[in-house]
């Protein structure tokens, strides 16, 4: 029986977080996995915080509560930190370093938290952390989410196979962007082959 | 249409003989269920969380109507369904009902509050009949993620007496939609399918099955049931109730309200409905709870399954836990059943185990309740929080939604912000929902009320009526084009009808944006529907004043807003520009926008960042600068109005425009001491002679005259207390304005300063010689008196050359500044030799005596003043005051236009009745006759005889020279090049070679000497910032009578409102470091601050270019090169 696994996705509206969730649902279905997903949606394009979740296995309905996320994909560091309470000691996370400064920080009401300290904390408390700090100049900014998803495939026992994700990209990407989408994803997948592994 | 969407649509429309497993959202499941049931028409209005349903049908409709698809997919397009986004939910439901009366199958979907709008139609039709079928999908929003309330729409079932389904998963949503159509067709009633966000947006796996295309043909048959009149109502009601109690519902009831008995014997029961079912089932499976719990799942909620509940209770249950979100509808109905049947059972529902009436449930909430209910611990041993996760994830910067970069609404709001000040609460803005509602959030803060859709126009006219004359500003309603079509038309009509006095601004971005850009009657896309012209419609409603504007034309926007508000009555402005998400309509420009770091938050006044700047950086100061930039008529580069004291005139003027008179005065005092004094007697070189510059002097006098402002030196005293001393000592000789200005700068820079003055008081020429009627000496004394408070040591009655010697000072102090002025008055031999003592004076001594009240003139005397400079004017006016009945004449060599006196002083003399004989000289003086002399005057230029007059008193005012206190060659050198003089001695003021003899010249010279001292003693890195202005000083200034002169001579009391009116058209521009305007008042998400400078986030920037107009520093501009192709992907 397929093991129950839960994944939480934290992003800023407009980064394509919801697209990633839909992609993973499609990929999981193609791979014959039982999958559920949930998101809060409607204001997502207006640059607010976006939370989405996926569950794999029977009798799960897409809901992830606190301390239940086995995996986290954080497309933005502050949003990843905001969802810290969803993680538990056996969690595995991939977090992008690209900051999106909210207005509350620019207007100096508050300061952006220390990301390095946060990543250090995570590395000391959960099973695996992939911190995506490299630049990807040849990938269009709106496809950074696919690159990060590619990097996420390096997480141990990541629930969705790479091949299925690629099939899903074929079905779901806009035709003009199909090639670029694949390139972005594959570049993330290939990263571990060209660079040293981070943490286990 | 792209491939991905095509694939999705074809999957929706395909009939699968073998079930095809999919994982789709609850909303998509409804679409499939409706198609499987044979829906023929969908009528909707967008609304989260229902929008995906209507969007899918919208795409399906377009797919089916496309000719190429009809050729390629004949089976999928054979019976195209009808889809429309109606103007609002009421019309949508009415039309759906009509569709169903026409024997077709209709679906109507909306969000929770949408059914409120449609409720009139919902409540009446059950008393009548339909012949096809009608399913109403209403989507609730527990937790209010994007709605005005979290009402529980399950209540509509009982309220309208119609069946109501409540699915818990996407699979159930699909199934129940099919069932709903079937039930509706049989029972001839609309059936409600009620969803919540967590089901609508959850994705779950189930099967798409076979569909049989049932081409439906509409038909209408007459029937008395279609005519609703009171005579029929009573019987209709009973008939309705009979339907709900009848046989048709029995199989549906049993299919969707199911009991699952516990494996083991148990008297515990759980009743669930809606999404808590999913939470419960997940827990139940994980912990094998089904073994010991009897479960009743309610899926068809109305008519309430009393029979099934009774069966459940009859299992011998003693304890029941009811799990449902929001209202206790199931719970209370269960209690009724128990009570009616005298069954005693303990029922736990709202209020037990922290189960709340408000908000969503979650797995945690359900787990917690189950654990307490069953008495078991249900914790999963791996699921515990990380240590310190609380403190790390709390109090993080919030990230609320924001208008997109390039949104036209931000442009409209910004124009409103500039044109209609509301920083002090003086304007009421009634907003509405939709994207423009985000304008109520910081930093725009442009809304005072927001309620339900369409309320804006009603609120404005209602408040207008309530406040009447107590509101001095017109009330403004703000709404989008979507809301306008939805519900504001009747309200606007009512406003016209009832003579309301409001302005309505319609933010027309040609779409319903917040829900994902759906069409409305204003859209201009290829919808296949008519495009309605908003402006024509509004005119048709009877509005007299209606205009359309492009919000990105900032200047026009501001003017039109002002006109709309000035109009008495109902005025409407349509701010029209397409939503940035409608990329087809307005392709993004290829050029990027970028910030020039050398202008962003950079001080344009002085280079030394250590110099204190009193300018404030806040919302009001930013707006003042922005208004001047965008609304000003006269734009002046601040370099055109430079001051030798390097006062930041830009900061000064913009502080006044922000009505912050205190800060304005502090900005002057940052640079020099004599704000009030300059306000009275400066010759205004900064104002030029064309009359088109800002009247700085007058403004200076104004802010310095506000008594609270003037007397408050606390800020500079505080700074001086905090200033670290550097241990260096400077001596300054001469306590006139030059010496005192050096002292002011040096004491603030941490030096120990000693000022030597030969008189008994400080002040120099200004104090002793300038007459009291020209200068308020008490204010001057207060200004000079500050220096002692700041710690400057004064040694009075100490003369250079007598009590102190320069070489000694140069040794005792680290540096010496000599500012003793030109105290020797020049004399005219012909006067000296002819007039007796007491009848001849030089202007210095005369004015000194006048100021000390030590001089009297014989009444009716004739006084001749020789000289064309300020001293001559002062002396003449003083003589005039001493001798009002006599005659006062000025003779000067120069022609009027070249007289060295300041024009203002010449004007004052003429106004006082003094005769000026220009181009004249004293040719000779006759013998005395009773103290009088005949003086013969010639034309100076030609030598011709001019006139002769009997003169009683002669005053020479022909110039000043230096007393011989210093070696002559010392004075010939530039004050920065020692050449002979010890290199720690510096000259300042009138004495310094080439320095302009004026108050501001003296002040500038004093500051320059202070800089020279600092360069010598501490290697100070910066040059004297006022050099250019000092070099530019000329004698003639402001040839025309300016605003300054007129008002001060008329003696009008200066009124702040008058100041604001006069200064409004001016924009004196310069870069400013105290700027946060784009963040504080504009708020585009693509602009953020990095290391103190604003940066454009090129990923999110949509290149509308408006920030270029916004930046008061003019630091933002288009890049000239086109963009690399890769970044063009959207």
A126 and B CB contact within 8 Å: yes
Q: Residue B1100 has what pLDDT?
A: 84
| Contact at CB, A42 and B402, closer than 8 angstroms | no
Inter-chain residue contact B203 with A37, CB threshold 8 Å: yes
pLDDT, tens digit (0-9, with 9 covering 90-100), for B1053-1098 = 678 888 898 899 999 999 999 999 999 999 999 999 888 899 999 8
Buried b (16+ CB within 10 A) or exposed e, B965-975: bbeeebbeeeb
pLDDT of residue A118: 96
B374-388, B878-892, B914-928: range with lowest mean pLDDT: B374-388
Instruction: Determine whether B720 is exposed, middle or buried from the number of CB atoms within 10 Å of its CB (0-12, 13-18, 19+).
Output: middle
- Please give the pLDDT value at position B1041: 45
Q: Is B993 exposed, middle or buried (0-12, 13-18, 19+ CB in 10 A)?
A: exposed
Task: Say if strands B1116-1122 and B591-595 run parallel, antiparallel, or are unpaired.
Answer: antiparallel
B110-136: per-residue pLDDT in tens? Answer: 999 999 999 999 999 999 999 999 999
Does any CB of chain B come closer than 8 Å to the CB of residue A43?
Answer: yes
Q: Nearest chain B Cα to A37, which residue?
A: B203
pLDDT level of residue B1039 (50, 70, 90 thresholds): very low
Closest residue to A81, CB basis, from B202, B396, B1080: B396
Residue A43, pLDDT > 60, answer no
The per-residue pLDDT for B970 is: 60
Indicate the residue of B3, B48, B1090 with minimum beta-carbon distance to A175.
Answer: B3
pLDDT in tens, B134-159: 999 999 999 998 899 999 999 999 99
Give the DSSP H/E element, type plus range, for residue B935: strand B933-939
Among candidates A13, A104, A173 on the partner chain, residue whose Cβ is nearest the Cβ of B398 = A104
Query: Is the per-residue pLDDT at A199 higher than 70?
Result: no
The predicted-structure confidence for B887-940, as pLDDT tens digits, reads as follows: 999 999 999 888 988 888 899 999 999 999 999 999 988 888 887 889 999 999
Tell me the C-alpha distance between A30 and B66, whole Å: 30
- Over residues B826-831, mean pLDDT: 87
Q: How confident is the model at residue B980 (pLDDT cuts 50, 70, 90)?
A: low
Tell me the shortest Cα–Cα distance from B287 to chain A, in angstroms: 12
First to last CA, chain A: 26
List the structure tokens of B14.
């395909």
Q: Please indicate whether, in this complex, the C-beta atoms of B204 and A29 are within 8 angstroms of each other.
A: no
Cis peptide before B49 (omega within 30 of 0): yes
pLDDT at position B1040 is: 42
Q: Nearest to residue B142, comparing CAs of B360, B336, B354?
A: B360
pLDDT of residue B356: 96
Looking at the complex, does the CB of residue A79 fall below 8 Å from at least one CB of chain B? yes
Residue B332 has phi, psi (to 5 degrees) of -70, -35
When pLDDT is averaged across residues B859-886 and rounded to a whole number, the result is 92
Considering only CB atoms, which chain B residues are within 8 Å of A65?
362-364
Contacts of A84 in chain B (CB under 8 A): 386, 389, 392-393
Contact B514 A29 (CB under 8 A): no
B97 falls in which pLDDT band (50, 70, 90)?
very high
Residue numbers in A near B516 (CB within 8 A): 45
| B42-54 average pLDDT score | 95
| Closest in B205, B362, B397 to A78, CB measured | B397
Among chain A residues, CA nearest to B389: A85
Q: What is the pLDDT of residue B1126?
A: 40
Name the average pLDDT for chain B.
90
Task: Compute the average pLDDT of residues B12-24.
Answer: 90
Which residue has tokens 């000694």? B808
Contact list, A106 vs chain B (CB under 8 Å)? 1079, 1087-1089
Supply the pLDDT for residue B208: 93
Nearest to B804 by CA among B761, B759, B758: B758
Whether the per-residue pLDDT at A197 is higher than 60: the answer is no
Question: Among B195, B203, B379, B1124, which would you mutate to test the A interface (most chain A Cβ atoms within 10 Å of its Cβ)?
Answer: B203
Among residues B441, B543, B443, which one has the least CA distance to residue B492? Answer: B543
**Could you read off the pLDDT of B444-454 as tens digits, one per residue?**
999 999 999 99
CB contacts, 8 Å: A46 with chain B: 401-404, 435, 438, 514
pLDDT tens digits for range B282-295: 888 888 888 899 99
Q: Pick from A61, A109, A171: which is nearest to B204 by CB?
A: A61
Cβ–Cβ below 8 Å for A88 and B1083 = no
Residue with tokens 């404030």: B616
What does the pLDDT read at residue B1036? 47
Q: Is the pLDDT of residue B573 over 80?
A: yes
CA atoms within 13 A on the CB side of B768: 18
Collect all residues of chain A within an 8 Å Cβ-Cβ radius of residue B581: 45
Mean local confidence (pLDDT), B331-358 = 97
> Is A36 in Cβ contact with B203 (below 8 Å)?
yes
CB-CB: which of A29, A48, A65 is closest to B362?
A65
Contact A63 B362 (CB under 8 A): yes
State the pLDDT confidence band at B17, using cuts at 50, 70 and 90: confident
> B399 and A171 in contact by Cβ < 8 A?
no
- What is the CA B1115 to chain-centroid distance, rounded? 18
Contact A88 B386 (CB under 8 A): yes
Please return the burial class of B816, using the count of CB atoms within 10 Å of its CB with bins 0-12, 13-18 and 19+: buried
Q: Are A121 and B49 an interchain contact pair (Cβ–Cβ within 8 Å)?
A: no
Q: Residue B339, exposed/middle/buried by CB under 10 A (0-12, 13-18, 19+)?
A: exposed
Burial of B684 (0-12, 13-18, 19+ CB in 10 A): buried
CA distances from B912 to A97, B874, B885, B903, B905 (A): 77, 11, 12, 14, 11
The string of pLDDT tens digits covering residues A91-146 is 999 999 999 988 888 887 789 999 999 999 999 999 999 999 998 888 888 899 99
First-last CA distance in chain B: 16
More confident residue, B215 or B397: B397
Average pLDDT value over all residues in chain A: 89
- When pLDDT is cut at 50, 70 and 90, the band that residue B968 belongs to is low
Q: Following CA atoms B330, B331, B332, B338 in sequence, which dihedral angle do they give, to the nearest 10 degrees?
A: 110
Q: What are phi and psi of A158, to 5 degrees?
A: -55, 130
Is residue B271's pLDDT more than 60? yes
For A132, the 3-state DSSP assignment is: strand
pLDDT classification of B1128: cutoffs 50, 70, 90? very low
Q: Between the CA of residue B663 and those of B754, B782, B998, B1072, what are the distances in Å? A: 30, 19, 26, 15
pLDDT in tens, B942-967: 889 988 999 999 999 998 888 777 66
In angstroms, the CA B562 to CA B417 distance is 11
Residue B715 CA to its chain's centroid (Å): 29
- Judging contacts by C-beta atoms under 8 Å, the chain A residues touching residue B444 are none
3-class secondary structure, B137: strand
Residues of chain A neighbouring B362 (CB-CB closer than 8 A): 63, 65
pLDDT, average across residues B384-391: 89
| Span B1046-1051, average pLDDT | 46
Distance CA(B940)–CA(B918), nearest Å, equals: 9
Residues A22-42: tens digit of each pLDDT: 999 999 999 999 999 988 654
What pLDDT, on the 0 to 100 scale, is given for residue B523?
81
B810 with B984: CB under 8 angstroms? yes
Give the list of residues 6+ apart from residue B622 with CB closer than 8 angstroms, or none: B1075, B1076, B1077, B1080, B1081, B1112
Q: Which residues contact B456 (CB under 8 A, 6 or more apart)?
A: B430, B431, B432, B449, B450, B477, B478, B479, B483, B488, B504
CA distance B1097 to B115: 41
pLDDT higher than 70, residue B6: yes
Q: Phi/psi of residue B831, each to 5°?
A: -80, -45
Please answer yes or no on whether B1088 and A105 come within 8 Å at the CB atom.
yes
- What residues of chain A lie within 8 A of the CB of B402, using their CB? 46-48, 103
Contact A106, B1087 (CB under 8 A): yes
pLDDT digits (tens, 9 = 90+) for B697-752: 989 999 999 988 899 999 999 999 999 999 999 999 999 999 999 999 999 999 99
- Count of CB atoms situated within 10 Å of the CB of B312: 22
Q: Inform me whether the pLDDT recorded for B1038 exceeds 50.
A: no
Asked whether the CA dihedral B699, B702, B708, B714 is positive or negative, the reply is positive
DSSP H helical segments within A55-177, as ranges? 77-82, 103-106, 115-125, 144-152, 162-172
pLDDT digits (tens, 9 = 90+) for B662-704: 999 999 999 999 999 999 888 888 887 766 889 999 899 999 9
Buried residues in B175-211 as b, exposed as e (16+ CB within 10 A): bbbbbbbbbbbebbbbbbbbbbbbbbbbbbbbebeeb
Distance between CA atoms of residues B628 and B622, nearest Å: 10
Predicted pLDDT at B960: 85
Whether A194 has its CB under 8 Å from any CB of chain B: the answer is no
B896: distance to nearest CA of chain A, Å? Answer: 58
Structure tokens at B688: 């030029």
Assess whether pLDDT exceeds 80 at residue B1044. no
Tell me which chain A residues have a C-beta less than 8 angstroms from the C-beta of B388: 121
A3 near B CB under 8 A? no
Q: Which residues of A fall within a CB distance of 8 Å from B1076?
A: 107-108
Helix (H) or strand (E) holding B520: none
Q: What are the chain B neighbours of A168 within 8 Å (beta carbons)?
A: none
Residue B394 CB coordination number (10 Å) = 10
Per CB-CB distance under 8 Å, the chain B contacts of A174 are 2, 4
- Please, which pLDDT band fits residue B1050 given cuts at 50, 70 and 90? very low
pLDDT at B1129 over 70: no
Cα(B758)–Cα(B735) distance, integer angstroms: 9
What is the pLDDT at residue A192?
74
pLDDT in tens, B159-181: 999 999 999 999 999 999 999 99
Q: Which two tokens stand for residue B636?
A: 């002046």
pLDDT beyond 60 at B471: yes
Give me the residue label for tokens 């009116």: B1061
Instruction: Name the DSSP class of B640.
Output: G
Q: In which region does residue B525 sit, left (phi positive, over 0), alpha (psi from -120 to 50) or beta (all else)?
A: beta
């Amino acid at each position: 029986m397929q093991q129950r696994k839960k994944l939480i996705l934290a992003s800023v509206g407009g980064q394509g977080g919801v697209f990633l969730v839909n992609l993973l649902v499609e990929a999981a279905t193609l791979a014959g996995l039982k999958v559920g997903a949930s998101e809060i949606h409607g204001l997502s394009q207006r640059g607010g915080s976006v939370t989405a979740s996926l569950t794999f296995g029977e009798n799960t309905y897409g809901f992830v509560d606190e301390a239940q996320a086995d995996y986290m994909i954080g497309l933005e560091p502050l949003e990843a930190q905001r969802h810290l309470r969803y993680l538990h000691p056996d969690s595995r996370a991939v977090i992008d370093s690209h900051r999106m400064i909210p207005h509350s920080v620019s207007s100096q009401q508050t300061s952006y938290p220390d990301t390095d300290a946060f990543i250090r904390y995570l590395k000391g408390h959960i099973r695996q952390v992939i911190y995506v700090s490299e630049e990807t100049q040849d990938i269009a900014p709106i496809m950074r989410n696919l690159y990060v998803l590619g990097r996420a495939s390096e997480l141990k026992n990541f629930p969705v196979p790479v091949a299925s994700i690629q099939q899903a990209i074929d079905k779901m990407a806009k035709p003009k962007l199909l090639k670029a989408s694949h390139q972005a994803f594959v570049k993330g997948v290939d990263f571990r082959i060209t660079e040293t592994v981070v943490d286990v | 249409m792209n491939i991905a969407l095509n694939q999705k649509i074809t999957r929706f429309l395909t009939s699968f003989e073998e079930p095809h497993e999919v994982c789709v959202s609850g909303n998509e499941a409804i679409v499939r269920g409706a198609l499987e049931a044979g829906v023929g028409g969908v009528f909707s209005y967008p609304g989260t969380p229902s929008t995906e349903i209507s969007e899918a049908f919208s795409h399906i409709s377009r797919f089916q109507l496309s000719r190429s698809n009809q050729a390629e997919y004949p089976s999928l397009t054979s019976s195209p369904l009808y889809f429309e986004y109606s103007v609002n939910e009421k019309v949508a439901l009415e039309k759906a009902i009509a569709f169903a009366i026409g024997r077709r199958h209709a679906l109507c979907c909306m969000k929770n509050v949408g059914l409120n709008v449609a409720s009139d139609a919902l409540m009446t039709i059950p008393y009548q009949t339909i012949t096809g079928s009608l399913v109403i999908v209403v989507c609730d929003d527990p937790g209010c993620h994007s709605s005005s309330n979290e009402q529980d729409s399950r209540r509509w079932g009982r309220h309208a007496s119609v069946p109501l389904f409540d699915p818990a998963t996407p699979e159930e949503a699909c199934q129940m939609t099919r069932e709903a159509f079937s039930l509706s067709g049989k029972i001839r009633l609309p059936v409600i399918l009620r969803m919540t966000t967590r089901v609508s947006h959850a994705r779950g796996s189930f099967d798409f099955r076979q569909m049989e295309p049932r081409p439906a043909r509409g038909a209408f048959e007459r029937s008395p049931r279609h005519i609703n009149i009171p005579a029929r109502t009573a019987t209709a009601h009973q008939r309705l109730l009979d339907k709900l109690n009848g046989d048709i519902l029995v199989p549906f009831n049993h299919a969707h309200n199911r009991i699952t008995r516990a494996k083991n014997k148990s008297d515990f029961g759980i009743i669930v409905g809606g999404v808590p079912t999913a939470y419960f089932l997940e827990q139940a499976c994980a912990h094998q709870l089904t073994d010991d719990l009897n479960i009743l799942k309610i899926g068809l909620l109305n008519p309430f399954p009393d029979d099934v509940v009774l069966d459940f209770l009859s299992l011998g249950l003693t304890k029941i836990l009811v799990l449902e979100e929001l209202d206790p509808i199931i719970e209370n109905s269960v209690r009724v059943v128990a009570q009616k049947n005298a069954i005693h059972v303990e029922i736990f529902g709202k209020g037990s185990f922290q189960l709340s009436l408000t908000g969503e449930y979650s797995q945690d909430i359900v787990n917690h309740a189950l654990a307490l209910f069953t008495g078991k611990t249900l914790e999963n041993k791996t699921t515990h929080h990380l240590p310190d996760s609380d403190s790390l994830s709390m109090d993080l910067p919030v990230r609320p939604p924001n208008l997109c970069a390039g949104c036209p609404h931000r442009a409209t709001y910004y124009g409103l912000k500039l044109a209609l000040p509301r920083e002090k609460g003086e304007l009421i803005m009634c907003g509405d929902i939709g994207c423009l509602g985000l304008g109520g959030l910081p930093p725009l803060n442009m809304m005072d009320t927001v309620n339900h859709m369409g309320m804006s126009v009603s609120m404005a006219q209602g408040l207008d009526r309530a406040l009447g004359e107590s509101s001095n500003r017109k009330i403004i309603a703000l709404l989008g084009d979507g809301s306008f079509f939805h519900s504001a038309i009747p309200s606007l009509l009512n406003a016209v009808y009832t003579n309301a006095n409001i302005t309505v601004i319609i933010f027309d971005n040609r779409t319903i944006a917040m829900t994902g850009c759906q069409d409305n009657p204003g859209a201009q896309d290829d919808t296949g529907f008519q495009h309605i012209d908003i402006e024509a419609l509004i005119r048709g409603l009877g509005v007299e004043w209606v205009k359309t504007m492009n919000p990105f034309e900032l200047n026009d926007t501001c003017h039109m807003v002002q006109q709309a508000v000035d109009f008495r009555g109902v005025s409407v402005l349509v701010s029209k520009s397409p939503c940035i998400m409608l990329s087809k309509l307005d392709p993004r420009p290829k050029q990027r926008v970028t910030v020039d770091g050398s202008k962003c938050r950079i001080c344009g006044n002085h280079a030394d960042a250590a110099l204190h700047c009193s300018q404030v950086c806040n919302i009001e100061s930013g707006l003042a600068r922005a208004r001047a930039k965008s609304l000003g008529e006269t734009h002046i580069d601040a370099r055109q109005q430079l001051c030798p004291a390097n006062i930041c005139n830009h900061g000064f003027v913009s502080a006044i425009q922000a009505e912050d008179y205190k800060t304005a005065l502090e900005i002057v005092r940052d640079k020099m001491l004599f704000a009030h004094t300059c306000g009275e007697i400066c010759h205004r070189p900064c104002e030029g002679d064309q009359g088109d510059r800002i009247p700085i002097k007058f403004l200076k006098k104004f802010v310095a005259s506000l008594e609270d402002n003037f007397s408050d030196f606390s800020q500079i005293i505080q700074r001086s207390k905090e200033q670290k001393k550097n241990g260096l000592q400077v001596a300054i000789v001469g306590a006139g304005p030059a010496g005192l200005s050096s002292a002011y700068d040096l004491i603030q820079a941490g030096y120990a300063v000693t000022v030597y003055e030969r008189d008994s008081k400080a002040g120099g020429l200004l104090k002793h010689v300038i007459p009291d009627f020209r200068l308020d000496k008490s204010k001057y004394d207060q200004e000079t008196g500050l220096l002692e408070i700041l710690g400057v040591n004064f040694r009075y009655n100490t003369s250079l050359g007598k009590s102190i010697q320069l070489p000694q000072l140069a040794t005792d102090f680290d540096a010496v500044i000599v500012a003793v002025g030109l105290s020797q008055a020049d004399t005219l031999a012909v006067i000296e030799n002819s007039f007796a003592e007491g009848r001849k004076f030089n202007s210095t001594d005369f004015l000194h005596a006048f100021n000390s009240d030590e001089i009297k003139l014989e009444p009716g005397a004739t006084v001749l003043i020789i000289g064309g400079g300020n001293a001559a004017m002062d002396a003449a006016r003083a003589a005039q005051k001493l001798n009002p009945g006599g005659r006062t004449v000025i003779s000067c060599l120069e022609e009027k236009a070249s007289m060295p006196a300041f024009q203002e002083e010449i004007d004052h003399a003429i106004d006082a009745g003094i005769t000026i004989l220009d181009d004249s000289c004293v040719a000779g003086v006759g013998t005395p006759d009773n103290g009088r002399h005949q003086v013969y005057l010639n034309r100076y230029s030609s030598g011709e005889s001019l006139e002769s007059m009997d003169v009683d008193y002669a005053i020479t005012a022909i110039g000043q020279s230096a007393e011989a206190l210093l070696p002559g060659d010392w004075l010939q050198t530039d004050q920065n090049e020692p050449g002979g003089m010890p290199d720690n001695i510096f000259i300042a003021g009138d004495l310094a070679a080439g320095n302009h003899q004026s108050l501001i010249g003296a002040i500038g010279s004093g500051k320059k000497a202070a800089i020279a001292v600092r360069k010598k003693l501490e290697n100070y890195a910066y040059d004297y910032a006022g050099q250019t202005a000092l070099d530019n000083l000329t004698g003639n200034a402001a040839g025309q009578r300016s605003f300054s002169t007129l008002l001060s001579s008329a003696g009008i009391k200066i009124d702040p409102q008058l100041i604001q009116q006069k200064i409004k058209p001016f924009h004196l521009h310069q870069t400013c470091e105290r700027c946060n305007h784009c963040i504080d008042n504009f708020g585009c998400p693509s602009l953020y601050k990095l290391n103190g400078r604003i940066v454009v986030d090129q990923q999110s920037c949509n290149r509308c270019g408006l920030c270029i107009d916004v930046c008061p520093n003019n630091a933002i501009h288009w890049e000239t090169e086109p963009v690399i192709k890769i970044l063009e992907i959207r």
